[in-house]
């Protein structure tokens, strides 16, 4: 009897402790609810987020965008990879109840080319587009003289690429020049920048134009009154400018001649030209060196940079011979993807130069 009572008391006390613990756990469950797992959180975020637009993916063997800052061509054709494709659409997440007075927004990092820009950042090119001051005969003459060739392959510049297209279309409409956008990659084994060489060769063989004006998408024609045809000099086959580092192919002229066709063929053979991040521009520079000084002077005319390919002033350390000023034909943004807030800089210049369309 003496041993039985302490044992019973111990069992009673243990039961009381268990009851107290059970009540505490129930209270915690009621107060805080079920544990929020990462999957629960992710579902809630996806349900509340703004659906992202179609994005582009890069292959693992993409060329690096690491050319020296300040060289003209470091980003004239910068695309993350030679092969790009839309990401597969993600399945629609299950709806989750929205929390009161709370919202989660995940802006898309790569808006689609058709995504509208904020009204404050988009120049009204339609209202500024000038009517052509040239007669039909003059426009036909300008068309026969020159065609504009613009490389516009994916991924391009989603935030403002459509403005670049409109800008070049307005200039071509005003003067009557031909306008050719290369929107597909013509050699899947190389970076899209090389497609510019093939596109020019194809147009030369078609015989539509005596000269071609090769332009990159990261350029703005800022003076629509100037005629690019006035720079044509039939004594030469190539007309190009030299920036603070080297010759740049972001904006240059090339005659549709047998010599030019041979030159471009040789350029295309130099697929391993260095620096590799300059792609076809590096190959053009190497071919210039290979033809020798005598042939270079016979076939290539070098013009002051601001006549053909002005830069954002900071690119070449604010040098007067390179830096764009109002009235110049064109503004080029090489290295744009290496510049902080580069897209906003371009939009600002589009706004600043929109009125120039009617000058």
Position 2 pLDDT exceeds 90: no
Question: What is the C-alpha to C-alpha distance for residues 100 and 97, in angstroms, rounded to an integer?
Answer: 9
Position 288 pLDDT exceeds 80: yes
pLDDT of residue 124: 37
For the record, the structure tokens of 235 come out as 């004594």
Position 37 pLDDT exceeds 80: no
Return all residues near 16 (Cβ < 8 A) that are at least 6 apart.
none
pLDDT of residue 353: 77
Residue identified by tokens 């020159």 is: 146
Q: How buried is residue 12: exposed, middle or buried, by Cβ count under 10 Å (0-12/13-18/19+)? A: exposed
For residue range 143-160, list pLDDT tens digits in order: 999 999 999 998 888 888
Range list of β-strands (E), 121-263: 146-151, 178-182, 211-216, 219-221, 238-242, 247-255
> Taking the C-alpha atoms of 102, 108, 113 and 117 in order, what is their torsion angle to the nearest 10 degrees?
50
Instruction: For residues 18-46, give the mean pLDDT.
Output: 39
Closest-CA residue to 145 (of 194, 210, 226): 210
- Number of neighbouring beta carbons within 10 Å of residue 209: 22
Residue 338: pLDDT band by 50, 70, 90 thresholds? low
Instruction: Please answer whether residues 232 and 253 qualify as being in contact, where contact means their C-beta atoms are separated by less than 8 angstroms.
Output: yes
pLDDT of residue 13: 76
Specify the higher pLDDT residue, 55 or 299.
Answer: 299
For residue range 83-125, list pLDDT tens digits in order: 223 333 333 333 333 333 322 222 222 223 332 322 223 333 3
Residue 221: pLDDT band by 50, 70, 90 thresholds? very high
Range list of β-strands (E), the chain: 56-57, 85-86, 146-151, 178-182, 211-216, 219-221, 238-242, 247-255, 300-303, 310-311, 330-332
Question: What is the C-alpha to C-alpha distance for residues 99 and 332, in angstroms, rounded to an integer?
Answer: 48
* End-to-end Cα distance, the chain: 114
Residue identified by tokens 């005629």 is: 227
Position 344 pLDDT exceeds 90: no
pLDDT of residue 17: 67
For residue range 25-35, list pLDDT tens digits in order: 443 333 333 32
Stated pTM of the model: 0.65
For residue range 345-358, list pLDDT tens digits in order: 888 888 887 755 54
pLDDT of residue 169: 95
Position 1 pLDDT exceeds 70: no
Mean pLDDT of the chain: 72
Of all helices (H) and strands (E), which one includes residue 296? helix 280-299
pLDDT of residue 21: 62
For residue range 116-175, list pLDDT tens digits in order: 322 223 333 333 445 788 899 999 999 999 999 999 998 888 888 899 999 999 999 999
């Amino acid at each position: 009897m003496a041993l039985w009572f302490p044992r019973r008391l111990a069992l009673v006390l243990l039961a009381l402790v268990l009851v107290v613990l059970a009540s505490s756990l129930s209270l915690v469950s009621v107060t805080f609810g079920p544990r929020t797992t990462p999957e629960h959180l992710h579902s809630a975020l996806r349900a509340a987020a703004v659906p992202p637009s179609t994005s582009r993916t890069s292959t693992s063997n993409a060329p690096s965008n690491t050319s020296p800052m300040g060289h003209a061509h470091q980003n004239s054709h910068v695309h993350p990879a030679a092969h790009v494709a839309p990401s597969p659409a993600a399945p629609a997440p299950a709806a989750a109840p929205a929390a009161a007075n709370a919202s989660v927004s995940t802006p898309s990092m790569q808006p689609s080319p058709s995504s509208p820009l904020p009204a404050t950042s988009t120049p009204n090119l339609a209202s500024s587009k000038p009517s052509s001051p040239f007669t039909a005969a003059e426009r036909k003459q300008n068309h026969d003289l020159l065609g504009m060739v613009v490389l516009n392959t994916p991924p391009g510049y989603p935030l403002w690429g459509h403005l670049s297209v409109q800008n070049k279309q307005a200039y071509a409409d005003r003067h009557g020049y031909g306008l050719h956008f290369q929107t597909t990659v013509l050699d899947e084994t190389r970076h899209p920048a090389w497609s510019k060489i093939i596109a020019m060769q194809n147009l030369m063989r078609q015989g539509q134009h005596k000269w071609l004006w090769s332009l990159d998408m990261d350029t703005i024609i800022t003076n629509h009154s100037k005629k690019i045809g006035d720079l044509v000099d039939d004594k030469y086959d190539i007309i190009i400018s030299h920036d603070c580092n080297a010759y740049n192919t972001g904006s240059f002229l090339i005659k549709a001649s047998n010599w030019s066709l041979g030159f471009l063929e040789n350029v295309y053979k130099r697929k391993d030209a260095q620096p590799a991040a300059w792609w076809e521009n590096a190959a053009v520079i190497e071919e210039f060196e290979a033809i020798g000084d005598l042939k270079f002077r016979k076939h290539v005319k070098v013009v002051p940079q601001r006549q053909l390919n002005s830069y954002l002033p900071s690119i070449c350390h604010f040098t007067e011979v390179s830096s764009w000023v109002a009235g110049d034909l064109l503004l080029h943004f090489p290295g744009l993807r290496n510049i902080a807030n580069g897209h906003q800089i371009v939009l600002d210049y589009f706004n600043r130069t929109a009125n120039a369309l009617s000058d």
